[in-house]
C-alpha cells in the first residue's frame, strides 16, 4: 500500500512540475512559444493542403505568396529573394548587371518586346540597336508573347547571343550578334557649367560607387571656373548610405555627424561621420529635390540643410527613413530586412509613413503635419520630421495635361519619334534642337489618323455629377445648365492638341533627342525650361538672399528658465554605438 501511495505521490509531483514548467515556459518565453506554435500550424497547413486540396499545389508559388504577404504586412522594403532572384538584389546594390544596356518594354498590341532606350557606350547601342526595334528572336527562339524577355537578355558577362529584330522602315529583319557586358548604370548622366559660372551635377543613384565620379565632375567644374553649384537629386531613389556620407564630406568639415541609425538591437545602431578633409566648405550650393528623391538622397539633402550648407529647392521629398540590410537564408536565399530607422544631423527622421500603425483595412497613410515635431538646424532654422525633407524654396509643380498621359501611353509620341529618325539621319545639338511647327503639324495628322481616343477627366466628373443630380432629384431644374456645360466641355481633339502644344512638343523633343544623344541629351532638353533649376539659379545669383536663407531667423531664440540663451549645437546630444551597415535602399 505504501508502495502504491509513493508511486502516486511521485506521479502527482511529476505532473505538478510538468505543469509548472509548461506554464513558466509560456509566461517566461511567450514570444518563443507563440513563434514555435504558429510555425507548427503553418507547416501543418501546407502539408494538409498538399495532401487533400482538390488540385495539385505548386509549393514554390504557394509558399512564396505567403512569404511575400507576410513581409509586405511589415513594410514594402522587407523582401525575400530566392536563389534564382539574387541577381536582382545584386543589381540593386551595385547598380550593375550582365546584359546589353537598354530599356525595353513589352507591347501587348504587338505581343512583342520593343527597344525603348539604349544606353550610351553599351552593347545595344554599340551594335546599332535603335529605339523602336521590335525583338523577334533570340538564338532562333521566337519571342512572340514572351512578357519577360529581360531574363533572356541578361546573363553572364562575356557570353554572346544572336538577336533578330524588325526595324520600322526596313524591308527585312536585321540580325545582330551581341556580347553581354557588365552594365553599369550611369551615376552622373550629365554635368555642365551653366551661365553665370554655376555648376550643375545630375546624380542619378547612390548605388555602386558614385562618390568617385561626383568628385571628378566637381573638380572638373572647379577647373572651369564655377563659383556656385547645383546638385540635382530629383528622382534619385537612393542606394548606399556610405556614398551619401562620402559626398556630404566633400562640402562639410571632418568629424560632422551625417546620419545615425537606431534599431531594436545594439548592432543595428551606428553613427556615420565625415572622416576626411572636405573639397570645398564655402561654395554656395543649391540642391534640387522632388517627391522621387528618397532614402540616401534624403540623407544628403537633409544633412546639407541641417548644417545650413545648402539651399534645398523643389518639392518635399519621398520620406523614406528606413534602413535595410541583407540576411543570408538557407538554400541560397537572401532577405532584405528593415533593421533600423535613420536620423539626420538635427535629430529628425524623415520617414513619412508609420507602417506599425495601420488602418483597420490594412492601409497606411502619411504622418499628418500636425503630429510632426520641430527640430532645428545648426543655426536655429526650424525643420520638421515625419514627412521627408521640406525644401527651403518650394516650387509649384506644373501639372501635365491629361491628354499627354494618353499620348505617351498609346505610344504615339514614341512612334512619331521613330518615324522622325527615319527621315533625319542627324539633328542639331540638344541645346539647339526644337520641334518646329511643321513637325508638330505632322504629329497632329498622325494622331488623327490613329483614331486617338482619350478620357477627359472633366467629362467623367460631369457625368458623375449628372447621375447624382438625377438621383437626388435636381435634374429637372438644372437640365439646361447641364446641357450648356456639356457643350462647353465637349471632346475637341484639335483644340486640346493646340492648347497643350508646349507640353506635348517638349515631350516629343525629349524622345527624339534621346535617339541621337542618349540620356545626356534628354536631360539637356529638360533643363531648357526647368522651374526648379531656374529658381536655384535665381537663389545662387543673389548672394545676400542666399546668406539670409541660411541664417538664423531673427525671431528664433531658445529660452531657458525665463532667460534667452544661445542656440545649442545639436550634435552634442547625439551618441550611438558603432556598427557598419551595408546600404540604404
Active-site residue (options: 306, 392, 511, 532) = 306
Max CA separation in the chain (angstroms): 115
Q: Mean pLDDT, the chain, as a whole number? A: 86
Please report, rounded to a whole number, the percentage of residues in the chain having pLDDT higher than 90. Answer: 68
Catalytic annotation present for 47: no
Identical fold for domains 96-184 and 190-397, yes or no, is no
Catalytic annotation present for 295: yes
pLDDT of residue 491: 67
Read off the pLDDT of residues 197-245 as tens digits, 9 standing for 90 and up: 999 999 999 998 999 999 999 999 999 999 999 999 999 999 999 999 9
Residue 544, C-alpha cell as written in the block: 545676400
Please give the distance of CA 472 from its chain centroid, rounded to a whole number: 44
- The neighbouring-strand residues paired with 347 are none
* Higher pLDDT among residues 202 and 84, named by residue: 202
Instruction: Compute the 3-state secondary structure of the chain and give helix, strand, coil in percent, each to the nearest 5.
Output: 45, 20, 40
From residue 527, how far is each of 19, 191, 536 by CA, in Å? 74, 11, 12
Read off the pLDDT of residues 447-476 as tens digits, 9 standing for 90 and up: 999 988 877 667 778 778 878 878 777 777
Residue 480, C-alpha cell as written in the block: 439646361
Indicate the pLDDT class of residue 482, thresholds 50, 70 and 90.
confident
* Cα–Cα distance for residue pair 46/360, rounded to 1 Å: 28
Read off the pLDDT of residues 324-337 as tens digits, 9 standing for 90 and up: 989 999 999 999 99
Instruction: Look up the pTM and report it.
Output: 0.83
Read off the pLDDT of residues 340-394 as tens digits, 9 standing for 90 and up: 999 999 999 999 988 888 877 777 877 777 778 899 999 999 999 888 999 999 9
Indicate the pLDDT class of residue 567, thresholds 50, 70 and 90.
very low
CATH architecture of 96-184: Roll (2.30)
Domain borders along the chain are: 34-73, 96-184, 190-397, 402-516
* Cα–Cα distance for residue pair 220/193, rounded to 1 Å: 10
Residue 402, C-alpha cell as written in the block: 491629361
List, in sequence order, the alpha helices (H) in 410-530: 412-423, 437-449, 457-472, 475-488, 493-499, 501-527
From residue 86, how far is each of 115, 208, 459, 536, 577 by CA, in Å? 25, 16, 47, 41, 31
Please spell the DSSP secondary structure of 169-194, one letter per residue.
T-SS-EEEEEE-EEEE--S-SEEEE-
* Cα–Cα distance for residue pair 150/105, rounded to 1 Å: 9
CATH architecture of 190-397: Alpha-Beta Complex (3.90)
**Which residues, at least 6 apart from 329, have a Cβ–Cβ distance to it below 8 Å?**
80, 335
Closest CA to 80 of 265, 365, 331, 358: 331
Active-site residue (options: 130, 256, 320, 444) = 320
pLDDT of residue 566: 35
* Higher pLDDT among residues 454 and 423, named by residue: 423
Residue 161, C-alpha cell as written in the block: 547571343
Read off the pLDDT of residues 510-548 as tens digits, 9 standing for 90 and up: 999 999 999 999 999 999 999 999 999 999 999 999 999
Indicate the pLDDT class of residue 2, thresholds 50, 70 and 90.
very low
Active-site residue (options: 295, 297, 340, 346) = 295
Amino acid at each position: 500500500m505504501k508502495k502504491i501511495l509513493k508511486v502516486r505521490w511521485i506521479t502527482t509531483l511529476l505532473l505538478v512540475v510538468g505543469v509548472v514548467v509548461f506554464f513558466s515556459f509560456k509566461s517566461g518565453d511567450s514570444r518563443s512559444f507563440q513563434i514555435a506554435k504558429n510555425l507548427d500550424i503553418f507547416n501543418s497547413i501546407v502539408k494538409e493542403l498538399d495532401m487533400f486540396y482538390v488540385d495539385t499545389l505548386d509549393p514554390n508559388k504557394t509558399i512564396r505568396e505567403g512569404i511575400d504577404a507576410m513581409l509586405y504586412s511589415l513594410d514594402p522594403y522587407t523582401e525575400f529573394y530566392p536563389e534564382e532572384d539574387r541577381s536582382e538584389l545584386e543589381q540593386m546594390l551595385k547598380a550593375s548587371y550582365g546584359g546589353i544596356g537598354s530599356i525595353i518594354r513589352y507591347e501587348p498590341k504587338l505581343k512583342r518586346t520593343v527597344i525603348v532606350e539604349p544606353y550610351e557606350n553599351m552593347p545595344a547601342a554599340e551594335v546599332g540597336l535603335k529605339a523602336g526595334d521590335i525583338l523577334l528572336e533570340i538564338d532562333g527562339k521566337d519571342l512572340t508573347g514572351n512578357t519577360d524577355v529581360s531574363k533572356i537578355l541578361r546573363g553572364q558577362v562575356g557570353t554572346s547571343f544572336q538577336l533578330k529584330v524588325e526595324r520600322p522602315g526596313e524591308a527585312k529583319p536585321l540580325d545582330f550578334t551581341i556580347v553581354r557586358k557588365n552594365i553599369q548604370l550611369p551615376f552622373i548622366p550629365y554635368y555642365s557649367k551653366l551661365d553665370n559660372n554655376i555648376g550643375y551635377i545630375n546624380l542619378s543613384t547612390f548605388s555602386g560607387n558614385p562618390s568617385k565620379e561626383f568628385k571628378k565632375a566637381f573638380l572638373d567644374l572647379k577647373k572651369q571656373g564655377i563659383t556656385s553649384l547645383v546638385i540635382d537629386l530629383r528622382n534619385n531613389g537612393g542606394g548606399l548610405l556610405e556614398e551619401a556620407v562620402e559626398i556630404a564630406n566633400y562640402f562639410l568639415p571632418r568629424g560632422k555627424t551625417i546620419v545615425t541609425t537606431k534599431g531594436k538591437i545594439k548592432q543595428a545602431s551606428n553613427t556615420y561621420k565625415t572622416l576626411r578633409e572636405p573639397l570645398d566648405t564655402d561654395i554656395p550650393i543649391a540642391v534640387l529635390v522632388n517627391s522621387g528623391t528618397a532614402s540616401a538622397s534624403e540623407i544628403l539633402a537633409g544633412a546639407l540643410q541641417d548644417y545650413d550648407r545648402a539651399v534645398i529647392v523643389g518639392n518635399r521629398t519621398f520620406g523614406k527613413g528606413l534602413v535595410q540590410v541583407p540576411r543570408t537564408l538557407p538554400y541560397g536565399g537572401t532577405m532584405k530586412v528593415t533593421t533600423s530607422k535613420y536620423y539626420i544631423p538635427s535629430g529628425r527622421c524623415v520617414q513619412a509613413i508609420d507602417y506599425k500603425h495601420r488602418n483597420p483595412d490594412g492601409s497606411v497613410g502619411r504622418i499628418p503635419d500636425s503630429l510632426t515635431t520641430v527640430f532645428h538646424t545648426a543655426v536655429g532654422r526650424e525643420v520638421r520630421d515625419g514627412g521627408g525633407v521640406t525644401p527651403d524654396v518650394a516650387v509649384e509643380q506644373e501639372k501635365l495635361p491629361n491628354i499627354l498621359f494618353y499620348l505617351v501611353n498609346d505610344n504615339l509620341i514614341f512612334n512619331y519619334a521613330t518615324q522622325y529618325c527615319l527621315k533625319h539621319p542627324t539633328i542639331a545639338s540638344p541645346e539647339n534642337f526644337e520641334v518646329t511647327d511643321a513637325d508638330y503639324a505632322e504629329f497632329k495628322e498622325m494622331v488623327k489618323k490613329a483614331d486617338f481616343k482619350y478620357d477627359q477627366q472633366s467629362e467623367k466628373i460631369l457625368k458623375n455629377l449628372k447621375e447624382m443630380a438625377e438621383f437626388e432629384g435636381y435634374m429637372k431644374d438644372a437640365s439646361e445648365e447641364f446641357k450648356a456645360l456639356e457643350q462647353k466641355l465637349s471632346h475637341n481633339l484639335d483644340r486640346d492638341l493646340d492648347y497643350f502644344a508646349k507640353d506635348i512638343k517638349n515631350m516629343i523633343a525629349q524622345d527624339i533627342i534621346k535617339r541621337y544623344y542618349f540620356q545626356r541629351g534628354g536631360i539637356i532638353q529638360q533643363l531648357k525650361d526647368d522651374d526648379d533649376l531656374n529658381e536655384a539659379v535665381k537663389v545662387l545669383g543673389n548672394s545676400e538672399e542666399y546668406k539670409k536663407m541660411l541664417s538664423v531667423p531673427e525671431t528664433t531664440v531658445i529660452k531657458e528658465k525665463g532667460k534667452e540663451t544661445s542656440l545649442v549645437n545639436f550634435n552634442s546630444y547625439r551618441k550611438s554605438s558603432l556598427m557598419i551597415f551595408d546600404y540604404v535602399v
